[in-house]
Amino acid sequence: MDLPSLASRLLPEAPALSLTPTRSDYDLDPEHRPDGPRKLKPAAVLMPIVRRDEPTVLFTKRTAHLARHAGQVSFPGGRVHENDASLVETALRETREETGIAADYVSIAGFLDSYETGTGFAIVPVVGLLREGFTLHPDPGEVEEVFEVPLAFLLDPANHRLEAAEWKGRKRRYHAFTYGRHYIWGATAAILVGFAERLKP
C-alpha cells in the first residue's frame, strides 16, 4: 500500500471538532441519541497501518483497571491536550506514550470522519503508514498488549458482524470483529468499517 493511493481515499484535512461528528455510536440506534447538543471532549487516535509485505493494522488492548474502556481493544490515542499543536500531534504523542513508537516512523496519509462515542468523546481518526523497524515499549499503566491484525482480514466483509447487548438498561447494537483471541468492537470497529467503506472501488 503506497501513501498517494491511500491518501486519495481519505480526508486531506482533519474534520473540525467544533462540528457535530459525522459518525456516531448512535448511528445503529438513533432512538437512543440524547436530546439536544452534547458537549463532547475532543480526542484523536492513530490508525497505524504497518507497511509489511502483507499490511497489518496495529492495535492496543487497554489494561483492566482503567476507569474508561477497560480491557477493550483500541487504536492508540486519547484526549487533546492544550499544548498539542494539532490533532496529528495528539495522535502521535499518545501513540508514543502508549506504545513507545516514535513519530518519525509514521507517515500521515489522511483522516477519517470524526466519530462520537456514547461516553462523550469526539474522536478524529488519523490514518498513518508505519514503517518497519519500530520498537515497542508499551506503557504498563495503560496498555496490556500491542498486537497486529492483517489489513485484508479487516477489509473482508465476511469478518464484520453486527452484534447487540444491553447497556444501561437499553439494547444497543454495535460493530464487531474477532481475530483469534482478540475481540474488536464498538467505536474502534466502527472506525474500521468507515475506513473499509472509503477503500471500496
Tell me, what's the pLDDT at 68?
61
pLDDT digits (tens, 9 = 90+) for 77-106: 999 999 999 999 999 999 999 999 999 999
Tell me, what's the pLDDT at 69?
55
Rounded-to-integer distance, Cα 74 and Cα 138, Å: 14
What is the percent of the chain with per-residue pLDDT over 70, rounded to a whole number? 96
DSSP of 149-163: EEHHHHH-GGG-EEE
Tell me, what's the pLDDT at 113?
97
Instruction: For the beta carbon of residue 93, count every other beta carbon within 10 angstroms.
Output: 21
The grid coordinates listed for 55 are: 499490511
Do 196 and 127 touch, CB atoms closer than 8 A? no
Beta bridge pairs of residue 60? 74, 146
Tell which residue, 90, 99, 70, 87, has the closest CA to residue 186: 70
Rounded-to-integer distance, Cα 191 and Cα 154, Å: 11
Tell me, what's the pLDDT at 66?
59
**Cα atoms in the 13 Å half-sphere on the side-chain side of 162:** 7
Determine the average pLDDT of the residues in 177-188: 96
- Confidence label for 169 from pLDDT (cuts 50, 70 and 90): confident
Whole-prediction pTM: 0.94
Which of 6-15, 86-95, 96-105, 165-174 is the least confident region? 165-174
Determine the average pLDDT of the residues in 175-189: 97
What is the percent of the chain with per-residue pLDDT over 90, rounded to a whole number? 79
pLDDT digits (tens, 9 = 90+) for 66-79: 556 557 899 999 99
pLDDT digits (tens, 9 = 90+) for 118-160: 889 999 999 999 999 999 999 999 899 999 999 999 999 999 9
Cell numbers 448511528: residue: 27
Instruction: For the beta carbon of residue 92, count every other beta carbon within 10 angstroms.
Output: 25
Query: Looking at the predicted structure, is the pLDDT value of residue 1 above 70?
Result: no
Tell me, what's the pLDDT at 2?
78
Tell me, what's the pLDDT at 70?
55
Q: Which domains does the chain have, with CATH numbers?
A: 3-13+40-156 (3.90.79.10)
Mean pLDDT for the chain?
93
